[in-house]
Amino acid sequence: MDFRNEMQRAASLAAQTGSIGLLLLWHILHLFVSIWFFVWGLIYVLESYLISAGILKSYKSLNLGKLQYLAIVVESEDADETSKVTDLLQWLEAIGVKHVCLYDTEGVLKKSKEVILKKLKNAIAFEEAYQDESLVDQKCMSLEFCSFSDGKEAITKAANLLFVKYLKLANLAGDHEEQIFTEPHMDDALKVVGGRGPDPDLLLVYGPARCHLGFPAWRIRYTEIVHMGQLKSMRYGSLIKAIYKFTTVRQNYGKQFCCPVVAVNSVNDTAFGRS
C-alpha cells in the first residue's frame, strides 16, 4: 500500500515538474520572440529615420509616373485623428502624388471632408477635378472620399440597372437566349451609375487589420496592397519606402483575372504580383 502511494506521489511530482518545464520553455520562447520583434522594430525605425533624413540616397528618386492613383485605407477608429490624416496628406503632397482616395468603413473621413480640404492649401475635391482636369495642375492634388456604404450603394444601383435592362430584353418579341451577366457588364453598369472610380495603383492600409477593410473590390483587381501599421505610428520614411518599392518593380498582369486581390503585404514584405 505504501509502495502504491509512493508511486502516485512520484507520478504527481513528475507531472508537476513536466508542467513547470513546459511553462519555462514557453516563457523562454516568448522572450526570444519578443526580443526579435523589438530588434526588428528598432531596425525599422532606424531605416525610416535614415530615409526621412535623406541619408539613404536610393530612396530620393521616385518615379511617380507609375503611381497615377493612390488609395489610403484608414481604420474607422483612427479616422477621427484628422491631424494625423492631414499630416499624411501633406507628406503625399510634398512627394508629388496627384490623386488620392481616402477610405474608411464608417465614412468618418467623408464627414471631415471640409475640415481636411481647408487644412490643405493645395488640394481639391475629386468631383471638381473630374469636371475640370486643369484644376489638378493648379491645385496639385485631388482627393476622393469614400466609405463602405458608397460601394454598397453603387453595386445595388448597378445590379438594378442590369435587371431593368434584362426585363426590357425579355419583353421584346422573339426568342431570347438566357442572359448571362459578365464582369464587363457589371463594369459598364457601375460606370453608368457613377460607382466606377479610378483603379488605385497602390493601396496603403493604416490599421491593425491586414485587409482592405471593404474598399470596393471591383476597383482593386490589379492594385498593390501594402499594410503600413497603425496610423498613430505612421512615419514619413516608411511611406517613402512603400512608394519607392512600388515604383521600382515590374507589374506582371495576367491575361485573365477572375477575382480581386486579397493578399496584403507589409511594408517589408515581397510585393504581391511583382518581381
The pLDDT tens digits for 234-254 are 999 999 999 998 988 776 654
- Which of residues 58 and 206 earns the better pLDDT score? 206
Are residues 85 and 32 located together in one domain of the fold?
no
Q: Is residue 275 part of a domain?
A: no
Give, for 145, the enclosing helix (H) or strand (E): strand 141-146
What is the per-residue pLDDT for 130? Answer: 59
Are residues 137 and 37 located together in one domain of the fold?
no
- Is residue 179's pLDDT more than 80? no
CATH of the domain at 247: 3.40.1180.10
Minimal CA–CA distance to 162: which of 135, 138, 188?
188
Are residues 125 and 11 located together in one domain of the fold?
no
Are residues 147 and 47 located together in one domain of the fold?
no
Are residues 242 and 262 located together in one domain of the fold?
yes
Alpha-carbon distance 213 to 204, whole Å? 11
Are residues 236 and 100 located together in one domain of the fold?
yes
Contact 230, 208 (CB under 8 A): yes
Are residues 67 and 110 located together in one domain of the fold?
yes
Are residues 129 and 79 located together in one domain of the fold?
yes
> Which pLDDT band, with edges at 50, 70 and 90, does 157 fall under?
confident
The total of structural domains in the chain comes to 2
Are residues 2 and 24 located together in one domain of the fold?
yes
Q: Is residue 37 part of a domain?
A: yes
- Is residue 273's pLDDT more than 50? no
The pLDDT tens digits for 61-80 are 788 888 989 999 999 888 88
Are residues 93 and 218 located together in one domain of the fold?
yes
Alpha-carbon distance 243 to 69, whole Å? 12
Which 3 state secondary structure label does DSSP give 251? strand
Q: Is residue 213 part of a domain?
A: yes
Alpha-carbon distance 102 to 36, whole Å? 34
**Percentages (nearest 5) of helix, strand, coil residues in the chain:** 55, 10, 35
- Is residue 39's pLDDT more than 70? yes
Question: What range does the domain containing 147 cover?
Answer: 63-154+181-266
Q: How many CA atoms lie within 13 A of 155 on its CB side?
A: 11
Are residues 187 and 56 located together in one domain of the fold?
no
Are residues 204 and 241 located together in one domain of the fold?
yes
- Which of residues 4 and 234 earns the better pLDDT score? 234
Specify the residue for cell string 520614411: 237
| pTM of model > 0.75 | no
